Each structure stands twice: as C-alpha cells, then as structure tokens.
Amino acid sequence: MSLSKLLSDYGMLIVLILLCVFYSITTLDEQNPRGVDAAEQVTQMILDGYNTQDRIVVVSKSNPEHVLFANTLLEELESSGYQNVEHIEGEPPEVRSAFEQFDSLGVRADAVAIPQDYSTIIGNIKNRIPVMSQAQIVAPRSYRWPTFLLANNLRNVANQIVVIAIIAVGMTMVIITAGIDLSVGSLIAFSAVVAAWIIREMGGADATLGVMVLASVIAILMCGLVGFASGITITKFKVPPFIATLAVMLVASGFAYIISKGESIYEIPDSYVWLGRGADLFSIPNAVVLMVIIYVLAHILMTRTTLGRYIYAVGGNPEAARLSGIRVNLVLLFVYTMCGIMAGLGGIVQASQLKSGAPTYGLLYELYVIAAVVVGGTSLQGGEGKISGTLIGAFIIAVIQNGMNLTGVESYTQKVVLGFVILLAVLLDMLKKRSWGGKKKTVAAG
C-alpha cells in the first residue's frame, strides 16, 4: 500500500531518476582533467621524468581554461627550479610556425606539456618537424566518468530547459483551471523582440543598465497585458481558451515580425547576457536561480494561499466554485495574465541567452511547455496538478533531449522518443487513476 502510494506520488520523479541513471551509464567516456587539476598532474609528471635543465615547451590555446592550465603550470615549474621553460600560446598554425622556428634555430625540446584536448593535434604537428620529433608529449591522463554527470553538463541541462520551465509555471495554473494557452511560444518571440527593439532605439550597444531593465520590464508587462486580453476574451465573451489563445498566438507572432521587420535585432550591450549566461551564485546560472525562485513562489501560491485553492476549485468544478462565492472570472483573468507574464519572462531569458531578439524564437514551444505540464502529472481536465510535478516534467524533457544529443541520436529519432515519453506519461496517469481512483472521480469525468 505504501509502495503504491509512493509510485503514484513520485512516479515521474522515479522516471526522471531512471533517465539520469540510464544516461550516466550510456555516456561513460574518457574525460580530460582541466585547468588547475590538469596543470598539477602535468607538474608531477615533469618532476618525475625530467630534470631542471631539460627544455620544456608548454603549449596552450588562448581560451580561459587553457590559459589557466598554462599559467599554473609555468608558476609551478618555475618554483620547482626549471629554468628552460617556454610557453607557446595559440591556434595550430601559430604553434606550427613556432616549432618551425625552433627547427631553423636547431633548438630541440625534451617535453611538450599540453592539455589533453590539444595533444592529438599538436602531436601531429610535432611529428612532422624533425627537431621536435624527439620531444615527449606530456599531457594529463584522462579518466572515465559519465559525460552526462559532468558539472558543465548538469548546468547545460538546467540552462536548456529554463525558458520552458518558467513558462510551464503559468501554463500549469491555466491547465489546472481546465484551460489552455497556445500563445506562449509567440509571446517568447514578442517579448524578446520588444525588449531588443527598445534597447536598440534607446542607445543600442551603449544602452545603460536602466534602459535594459526598463525594456525588459516593459516587454514582460506587455505580455502580461496580452495574457489579460486573452483572459477577457475567454471570460467576458465566452470564447473557448483554445480558440482565443490560438488567435492571440497568430497576432503576437505577427507583431513580432512587424516590429523586427523579420530580422533579428542584435544591437544590444554585451552585459545583457548577465541573466542568460552569467552564473554568480556558486556558479549556478542566474537564469536557473530565477527559475528556482519562481517555482518556490508558485508552489507557495498554489499550496498555501486562498487564491491557490480558488484556482483548483475553478478547475475542478466552475459551477460549484461560483456558487460557493468564488469570483471565477477574476481567477481566470489572473491565471491568463500570469501565463502571459511568465511567457514574457521566458522571452527575456531567451533574448539574454542569445543576446538578440528575433521573431523566430519560441517556434512550437507551446507544445513543449504543455508537454512538460502534462508529463508532470497535471490533468488537462482541470482541478488537478502540482507545480513541483511540472518542474519534474520539464526536467524529464530536458534530460531526454540532452541525453540524446550526448549519445548522438539524430533529431528525427529525438522527436519520436519525446512523443512516446509524453504518451507514456499520460498512460501512466490514466493507469494510476484506474487502479486507485475508486474513491475519487473516475477517468471518464472528462
């Protein structure tokens, strides 16, 4: 009994964990130590194998990780008394010409110290230059670890789902009221384009922080207004949500194309990527922190407040809710406005990640958002669902996509698998209700 309760409450969480385990096993691969770790390992190898008079050539590219490697290694070698150390920094052609210069001067090297991911290329080049061919490559040893579980990749997974996960909060509320909002994908584009356009008109690449914040807030509020308008159409004119938001989807997308003239707007200051690419708190991406805050607030709203209970009540049985004194229309207006605001925020995150606004953003995202909500266990018939479930649903989608990218599954197959997972989630939900739903409403309610 307790096991079945566990499965019914945490079924999708278990699926998520199984997915993570699955991809951890299938992406087990050789990993290269990086930065300081790599430098320390190489230092040890040089200390063990070479004396202080030997000529050591340190080779690196100019990207931050390689620079960190090279600088640490150079310092360590110097403090250990190595006097014949030289550093070559650059792309393969530059390294090659440096080696060729050694050749013409007739100076040989004893060791080439290098980060693992550059060793094959430099090894190839070295072997073709006579004076260098005697030199040994000294690179850190690789170790076996799942690519999926690399810190960088876990950050990737979270970062890649942020936009969809944020919007899914609003969508969860809408779906709990037995509605739907198809306009969120277009609102991503609309919000991104509006914000980018305002920034371009008010200073472009030299715009101030104030302008960027203002532009983003205006874009989000405009999306909230669009959501409010959808809500009015649905409550006052009794247009079914599917139709009302379908119309808004086309209008918002059209405006995004009109404002941007069909092109991406990219005249934006570099600092605009703070939200999408920055990572200030324990190297957790800022957008992920924002997402967590939103989920916590939404969870409190849905579980601890009167408004939250009203939202469930409206979805469960609107007539009963009305008779018990709930102002159903106000609740509906709230959820559609909220969904618009969340879509606007999603658009800002997207614009920040890509440092530009384009009308092509958010294509078909409404479907991914709805999928996240449904996989998370929210019923399309309304009245049921959890914010935490939606987060799990979003992560299931993110892990599958990321895992398939890592294992090299082509895009077509990805779609098929994703489709099956959504179907499976719904089936699981149905079975759950059939097995334990005796006391509650049955499946046929919808």
Partner 1 sequence: MRNLYRLLPVLMLALAVSSCQTQPQSDAVEATTGTIGVTLLTMTHPFFQNLAAGLEEAAGEHNMAVTVNSAEFDVARQRNQIADFIVQGVDAIVMSPADSKAIVTAIQEANEAGIPVFTADIAALADGVEIVTHIATDNYSGGRLAAEAVLEIAEEAAEIAIIDHPEVESVIQRTKGFHDVINEANTNGKAIEVVAQLPGGGIKDRAFRVAEDILQAHPNLDVIFAINDDTALGAVAAIEKAGKSGTVQVVGFDGTAEARRAILEGKIYADVIQHPHQIGIMTVESIVSYMNGDDLPPEQLIPATLYRQADAAADPILQEEAASE
- Site residues for partner 1, 54-73, by CB under 8 A, read 61-66
Tokens of 42: 């190489």
Which residue, 242 or 420, has its beta carbon nearer to partner 1?
420
Tokens of 92: 């393969």
Site for partner 1 in 137-196 (CB under 8 A): 147, 150, 152-153, 156, 159-160, 163
Of 36, 45, 68, 121, the one binding partner 1 (CB under 8 A) is: 121
Q: Quote the CA–CA distance of 329 and 127 in Å, as a whole number.
A: 76
Which residue, 83 or 120, has its beta carbon nearer to partner 1?
120
Enter the DSSP assignment of 183.
Answer: T
350 lies in the binding site for partner 1 (CB under 8 A): yes
Q: Quote the CA–CA distance of 186 and 346 in Å, as a whole number.
A: 11
Is 397 in contact with 375 (CB distance < 8 Å)? yes
CB of 202 to partner 1, least distance (A): 19
Site for partner 1 in 382-401 (CB under 8 A): 401
Which residue, 325 or 408, has its beta carbon nearer to partner 1?
408
CB of 258 to partner 1, least distance (A): 13
Of 325, 408, 438, 439, the one binding partner 1 (CB under 8 A) is: 408
Of 227, 276, 318, 393, the one binding partner 1 (CB under 8 A) is: 276
274 lies in the binding site for partner 1 (CB under 8 A): no
Strand 143-146 vs strand 28-31: parallel, antiparallel, or unpaired? antiparallel
Which residue, 93 or 325, has its beta carbon nearer to partner 1?
93
197 lies in the binding site for partner 1 (CB under 8 A): no
Is 277 in contact with 289 (CB distance < 8 Å)? no
15 lies in the binding site for partner 1 (CB under 8 A): yes
Can you state the angle between helices 151-176 and 184-201, rounded to 10 degrees?
110
Question: Binding marks (x or -) toward partner 1, 233..262, rule CB under 8 A?
Answer: -----------------------------x
CB of 131 to partner 1, least distance (A): 15
CB of 280 to partner 1, least distance (A): 17
127 lies in the binding site for partner 1 (CB under 8 A): no
216 lies in the binding site for partner 1 (CB under 8 A): no
Tokens of 166: 């944020």
Rg of the chain over all Cα atoms, to the nearest angstrom: 28
Of 10, 22, 228, 274, the one binding partner 1 (CB under 8 A) is: 22
CB of 414 to partner 1, least distance (A): 8
404 lies in the binding site for partner 1 (CB under 8 A): yes
Q: Quote the CA–CA distance of 50 and 421 in Å, as a whole number.
A: 56
117 lies in the binding site for partner 1 (CB under 8 A): yes
214 lies in the binding site for partner 1 (CB under 8 A): no
Is 228 in contact with 333 (CB distance < 8 Å)? yes
Q: Quote the CA–CA distance of 242 and 317 in Å, as a whole number.
A: 19
Terminal Cα distance for the chain, rounded: 27
Torsion of Cα atoms, 415 then 417 then 422 then 428, to 10°? 170
Q: What is the separation of C-alpha 335 from the centre of its chain, rounded to a whole number of angstroms?
A: 25
Q: Quote the CA–CA distance of 65 and 70 in Å, as a whole number.
A: 9
Site for partner 1 in 411-440 (CB under 8 A): 411-414, 417, 420-421, 424, 427-428, 431-432, 435
Site for partner 1 in 81-100 (CB under 8 A): 91-93, 95-97
The full length of the chain comes to 446
Size, binding site for partner 1 by CB under 8 A: 79
Which residue, 228 or 266, has its beta carbon nearer to partner 1?
266
Tokens of 212: 């960027």
Q: Quote the CA–CA distance of 122 and 73 in Å, as a whole number.
A: 18
Q: Quote the CA–CA distance of 398 and 121 in Å, as a whole number.
A: 33
Site for partner 1 in 361-380 (CB under 8 A): 361, 363-364
Q: Quote the CA–CA distance of 390 and 351 in Å, as a whole number.
A: 23
